[in-house]
Amino acid sequence: MSARDLLEPSPQLLTRTQFILLLGSPYDYVLLQTRDRLISNDVRVYLVQNVALVNISAPFGVDDVEAKIVIEGESLSIRTAKAILVSQVMAGTKDLMDGSDAHYVEQEVFASWLALLSMAPCRIINRPSARVPVMLYNSIQLRSFARSLGVPTVDEEICSKRELVRRKQRGENLVCLDLSNQQPFCLVDDYRIEGGRLYSIIEVTCDATYAITVRIAEEFLSFLYKPSQGIFRMPDAFQNQLKDSSRTLLDALNLSFAYCVHAFQPFQQKVPEFTRLYTETPPFLPMNVTDTVVDKLIDELKR
Amino acid sequence: MSKGILIIGYIGDSTIRHVLEITQAADVEFSFLHLGDYYSNGYLRHSSSGESRRTMVRAAGVSYRISEFSGIYQRLLLPNPSHVGKYQWPKTMSRFVGLSAVLQSTQVNTINRPLCGWENMSKPLQSYFLRQKGFTVPLSLTTSIVSDYKKFRQHGETIYKSNSGVRSIVDNVEKVENERLQFLENCPVLFQRRIVGKDVRIHVVEDSVFAVEIESDAIDYRYYRTKGTYSHMRACESAPQWIMDLCRSYAQERGVVLAGFDFKVDDLGNWYCLEMNPSPGFESYDVVLEGRIGKRVLEFLLGQSL
């Protein structure tokens, strides 16, 4: 069966009253493509970026109120959701709030959606895990968690500006992370290093080759990526190894759709080391891989 | 050679003050890392490859090597952004993230590791987990939809509280309904069927369980001074063993060493679990129990009996 065959309407699987909800950025190309192709196949699909703009009811033990969301005035019972894809949950607040109200509302909205997504009886891709708060983890916590599972993971060091400058002066060309905003940067670049902030130095050179695995349910796609040079085929010797370590990590995080990035030293016979994880589309995803991901995602959502 | 216990928090936090007091009273060696100092002028170094031997936190001119302590008691709080200057905020945030990562991965006994019991940041989600575990929980509705709220409301006395871990004063909706209902669509609220009866607070410290009961005329006994007239605490001898076992088992499953479970017990003797707090303020209950909770906390942190 070709990918195109998967797009044919299959009414026995997805009825007209059912809908599919995509939670994530409208600038995420994979989500946009997925939404557009589902619409062209007559599927009711909603892409929601900011869940604070969607009204919600999540009853618990109550008979006469059903779980629902209201998107732009349209009430949608969660009972009729065919599937929900959680790429990112953003709870930005409405303009009318002042600062302290906005902070409170963000937390309340997030908490109510966390409950809804955990309890909803429909199929949820990337359902919040009961065990691990993946939606709350930053990239350091993810690496720490991966290490605790025995997944080969890059070393890193948390330090102040002083150490960062010292290593920059030694000409080390490493990937770093500004812990104040989780912004990655390259040590040799002109990123403004501020005194008083803490940074993480990740032991990966900025010109490293990366081994990427993309998981969509039980499918794992993998390829090599080198910034400025593009993508390459993954050597067979590493395919299974990467698939296994990605599966170990993603199963523990309850993620069935995610992109795992590993630092890869092709000439050092070194096992690729987990570096970071995306649930939204990473900027380097090549177009041909994007198309395959969208195909498989649609298949999963309609299943 | 162990340097005893490292206590991390704000001196203005009454729970931190209590832990400092009981530690001193027990003649246990300790160091105190004041978060106010750490956020304003501190830093840390940590290497994932060297584990905690290479983790050093510094504040107010004092260095703390994490691996030298037998235990860490922490109440790591991020200050409210509105209380921190715009220029200082990125520094504060980066220090919070760094220390949080260190406490997450250290091998040292810690009460509690950051994000243990994280589900407490969504009370309806925690209710779901608690019910799966076997606790009875109150009927509840999280909603920002007025018509759904009205349906829920018509079936009985209703209270409201925050969905998230942000502390809120629990009260009856009657008192605010007319004034606040118009704002419901801006922010979902957690409504619950009110359970009338005594409150019981159960603390779990590793494998030990301690219960205190509270009689009060306020819906939220913590605020009896403004919302009621009295609140009396005493040791609770009537907590069923199966409830205490469930508390211990749930806390262990969630990786929480020190937990505070809130219960309402109705006139029929039904025990309703309201929540499990993974960072409980336990000082007032510890006073009622003559320091038994605090003693177990210290024993866990020291890895030995007192």
For the segment B37-54, the average pLDDT, to the nearest whole number, is 82
Q: How far apart, in whole angstroms, are the C-alpha atoms of residue A143 and residue A289?
A: 25
For the segment B217-241, the average pLDDT, to the nearest whole number, is 85
For the segment A251-280, the average pLDDT, to the nearest whole number, is 89
Cβ–Cβ under 8 Å, residues A245 and A152: yes
Q: Does B63 touch chain A (CB under 8 A)?
A: no
Q: Which of A30-39, A203-212, A234-243, B179-188 has the lowest mean pLDDT?
A: A234-243
| H helix or E strand, kind and range, residue A33 | helix A29-40
Q: Is the pLDDT of residue B284 over 60?
A: yes
Return mean pLDDT, chain A.
88
Mutate to test the interface with A, among B163, B168, B252, B276 (most CBs of A within 10 A): B163
Asked if B187 lies within 8 A of A141 by C-beta distance, the reply is: no
Q: Is the pLDDT of residue A294 over 50?
A: yes
Closest Cα in chain B to A101: B187
Assigned fold of A134-151+207-302: D-amino Acid Aminotransferase; Chain A, domain 1 (3.30.470)
* A96, A119, A143 ranked by CB distance to B128: nearest: A119
Q: Is the pLDDT of residue B291 over 90?
A: yes
Query: What's the confidence (pLDDT) of residue A26?
Result: 86
Q: Does B244 touch chain A (CB under 8 A)?
A: no
Asked if B48 lies within 8 A of A144 by C-beta distance, the reply is: yes
Q: Does B82 touch chain A (CB under 8 A)?
A: yes
Query: What's the confidence (pLDDT) of residue A12?
Result: 44
Query: What's the confidence (pLDDT) of residue A230?
Result: 81
Query: What's the confidence (pLDDT) of residue A136?
Result: 85
Mutate to test the interface with B, among A60, A104, A156 (most CBs of B within 10 A): A60
Q: Does B123 touch chain A (CB under 8 A)?
A: yes
Confidence class of residue B53 from pLDDT cuts 50, 70 and 90? low
Q: How far apart, in whole angstroms, are the C-alpha atoms of residue B18 and residue A302?
A: 56
Q: Is the pLDDT of residue B306 over 90?
A: no
Q: Is the pLDDT of residue A268 over 70?
A: no
All residues at 6 or more sequence positions from B43 whose CB lies less than 8 Å from its CB, including other chains: A160, A196, A198, B57, B58, B95
Q: How far apart, in whole angstroms, are the C-alpha atoms of residue A96 and residue A102?
A: 9
Confidence class of residue A3 from pLDDT cuts 50, 70 and 90? very low
Query: What's the confidence (pLDDT) of residue A13?
Result: 54
Express each pLDDT in A150-170 by its tens digit: 999 999 999 999 999 999 999
Which chain A positions have a beta carbon within 8 Å of B162's beta carbon? 107-108, 111
Q: Does B94 touch chain A (CB under 8 A)?
A: yes
Q: What SS3 state is found at A35?
A: helix
Q: Smallest Cα–Cα separation from A119: which of B303, B124, B92?
A: B124
Q: Is the pLDDT of residue A9 over 60?
A: no
CATH number for the domain whose boundaries are B5-111: 3.40.50
Q: Which of B92-96, B140-144, B148-152, B164-168 has the lowest mean pLDDT?
A: B164-168
Which chain A positions have a beta carbon within 8 Å of B81's beta carbon? 99, 103
Query: What's the confidence (pLDDT) of residue A6?
Result: 35
Query: What's the confidence (pLDDT) of residue B52?
Result: 46
Q: Which of A212-226, B135-149, B159-173 has the lowest mean pLDDT?
A: B159-173
**Chain A nearest C-alpha distance from B162 (Å):** 7
Q: How far apart, in whole angstroms, are the C-alpha atoms of residue B189 and residue B170?
A: 11
All residues at 6 or more sequence positions from B177 whose CB lies less than 8 Å from its CB, including other chains: B153
Asked if A108 lies within 8 A of B162 by C-beta distance, the reply is: yes
Q: Does B182 touch chain A (CB under 8 A)?
A: no
* B45, B142, B151 ranked by CB distance to A58: nearest: B142
pTM (predicted TM-score): 0.91
Q: How far apart, in whole angstroms, are the C-alpha atoms of residue A41 and residue A270?
A: 45
* B90, B138, B152 ranked by CB distance to A194: nearest: B90
Domain borders along chain B are 5-111, 139-193, 197-302
For the segment B48-70, the average pLDDT, to the nearest whole number, is 85
HEC states along A37-86? HHHHCCCEEEEECEHHHCEEEEEECCCCCCCEEEECCEEEEHHHEEEEEE
Assigned fold of B139-193: Dna Ligase; domain 1 (3.30.1490)
Return mean pLDDT, chain B.
92
The percent of residues in chain B predicted with pLDDT above 70, rounded, is 98
Assigned fold of B197-302: D-amino Acid Aminotransferase; Chain A, domain 1 (3.30.470)
Domain borders along chain A are 4-125, 134-151+207-302, 156-205
Which chain A positions have a beta carbon within 8 Å of B128's beta carbon? 60, 115, 118-119
Residue showing tokens 């969905």: B163
Query: What's the confidence (pLDDT) of residue B225?
Result: 78
* A58, A118, A140 ranked by CB distance to B101: nearest: A140
CA distances from A143 to A127, A275, B9 (A): 20, 7, 26
